[in-house]
Chain A
Amino acid sequence: MSTGIGTALERIAVSALALLASAVIFGLLLILYAGVDPFEAYALMYQGAFGSWFSFQNTLTRAAPLILTALCTALPARLGLIIIGNEGALVLGGVAAAAAGVAVAASGPLVTNLAMAAAAMIVGGAWIALAGGLRQYRGVNETISSLLLTYIAIALMNHFVEGPLRDPTSLNKPSTPPIGDANMLGTIGGSDVHWGLAFGIVACLLCYVVQRFTTFGFAMQVIGGNPKTARMMGLNVGRYVLIACAAGGAAAGLAGMVEVAAVHGKANASLAVGYGFTGILVSFLARHHPLAIIPVAILLGGIGASGGLLQRRLDLPDAAVVVLQGIIFVCILASETLYGRSWTWLWRFRAAEGR
């Protein structure tokens, strides 16, 4: 058990170091290029993300789709697959949810929301399972194919929203017909945070329980560790790949449903604002651990939520947030090299403390 705690400590320490390095690099960029005081920028970011109940609710609202899309990378990663088609599953899930929602809009909010969620999860799941299946049965690199599928998904979304599913009354911004105010997904308690956050947290808990306590989860770990051994043990690797990819895609599809049912009320180009891409980062930052995804998504949701404030107060381009995310991503990946090395140092530190 103590090694378990040690590993967890090592992960937190290395990640914190990587985040600190990202903050320094981004700070230098702010000073050198934009002439902005980085401490002022970070103070504003804290204020915009966690400074008040209002901004924290905004952060949580943004964290909800991030948690769900992160699972799209995290679940297949357990099997050693790197899937980055999260955005595609999200937008198609959103379109499917909107179509289903409009179709059954008259049958009450509960039925409508259930139908929307089911449609979104089926479409999102099938989309990512396609990438997994191509990898498993045709040997097509899943990283490249899933990103290609994202571009195809965005084209399909544009086609449906501007063509077959278009609401003729939406003139400036082509959209599907609204699902109706009565059918919108509500907010939790007295807050402004919608139920999508709860969906995300439940999904993460569920994934954790399955991975940690079931034979299925154990088999996933074996496959991720060594597919050849797994095959020799008689595991049907293809089945696990398809199920993990479908589950991940379903989570990302559900994120699209949440965006439609709780935020926009209809499907349009606003679905493709990058939650899927940030979800990839969330998953890597959380080292694909379902429980770690929740705090990481809240952190990155906060960074996203503070973007507007940075733009207004410091006149920074809106891409500042994207740059920071990119820097964090690269630093986290580079920090992988510290594992195992920093461990002895930490251990000594803890031993000294114990004395």
Chain B
Amino acid sequence: MTWSELLLMRHEWALIGLALVLIMLEIGISDEQKNRIHVVACLLMAAITLFGFWPAESGKIFGGMYITDPLRVLMKNILNAGVLIIFLQSSVWLGKAGMKNRMTEFYLLLVSSLIGVNYLISAGHFLMFYIGLELLTIPIAALAAYEQYQSKSAEAGIKLILSSAFSSAILLFGLSMLYGAIGNLYFTDFSLTDSLLTILGFIFFFSGLAFKISIVPFHLWTADVYEGSPTNVTSYLSVISKGSAVFVLVILLFTLFRTIQPVWQAVLYATAILTMTIGNLFAIRQQNLKRFLAFSSIAQAGFILLGVIHGGSLGMASVVYFVLVYVFSNLAAFGVVQAVEQATGKLNIDDYNGFYNTNPRLSLTMMLALFSLAGIPPLAGFFGKFFLFTAVAESGFYTLLLIAVLNTVIALYYYLLVVKAMFINKSELPVPVIASDGAMRISLLLAVTGILVLGFYSPVFDYINELCKTF
């Protein structure tokens, strides 16, 4: 193995380096100076994110177990940026008494999970794929139970680990069928034929992955785990974990499962309608903002499937672009939720009554984030949704498109309920003025810049589209 071959894996190396630095700091730093770990972690993560944009080459190493190309690198970069924002948003929470001395654990587990994400995206063999998937999931289960003295957090941890063990088992069952049909687990010589065994194998495999993306009917764990986990972990689950599963789903469907496209199109058609509609309808009734965002993120997953169904480069580009936009929009919303939760412990939509009068900037951020999620111009979410719709229209599924656009109206309704609480409703006891934290400010600024700029700056989408065409 040559030096240049090793460099192909530089995203993973950088993250492993970050993990080692964090371990050494944890050993070498005294309890009073733990705050510095936060600064170091954020700075290094920022450096890694920027470093990731260094032009990338395509290549395979480990005999085809590991594949990389510019599109995969872009996916990793998008998720790295999301993790950076989450790191920044966790400063207040981790700085609290009782959390401080366990700060390194949080970063370390998050970075390990991110390494899993990277290997998952770059996998060239189903073994690698499975290792990546488990490495992605298990640290998050620990993180979900991070606030160990709160029963809800412990409950979220156990729910997450049980349901993901279950989904992994289903996924492995599907894989074993596929292996039985083909006799090979390398992606390169994976030629599926249209037989009952492969279709069954695909269905099981897809169900396992659908757990991660929380596609209906595999979404039942989502709301409880999102509600119980610490907010930063929730945002990781809803953005990074879901985003990576979407990426890998797109990659696999468009390459390995290309031969059975009619089958997965039919499966996705049904699940997309269910996911959008059920996610939206359940979101309407939620009072707790974390549950609310959980159902909204289920609905968004349904929209993402619209791009996947397309099956061509436009569909892939629209999915990647939408996830990029979704990272910024959702993290802006979670950032505000986190800021309010840490300052007051309030999480209900009613608690946000009169929020604009006391915290105008935070509520404007929240409004932009929700409008972007709802797909209102000129915010990035509008472009993201529109391109997904374009993909559906190109594949000719106009009925599906009609159902999807009507779903955006339902979604707008519940997003407006939060806007209404913040801007219109009056309250005797509004959330007090929140003293802002520097890192949180930077994170929200990054997210809002993304929301405002991505749509207008068309080269982003054009670049993604080019990458997908050559994929």
Does chain A bind chain B?
Answer: no
Q: Which residues of A contact B (CB under 8 A)?
A: none
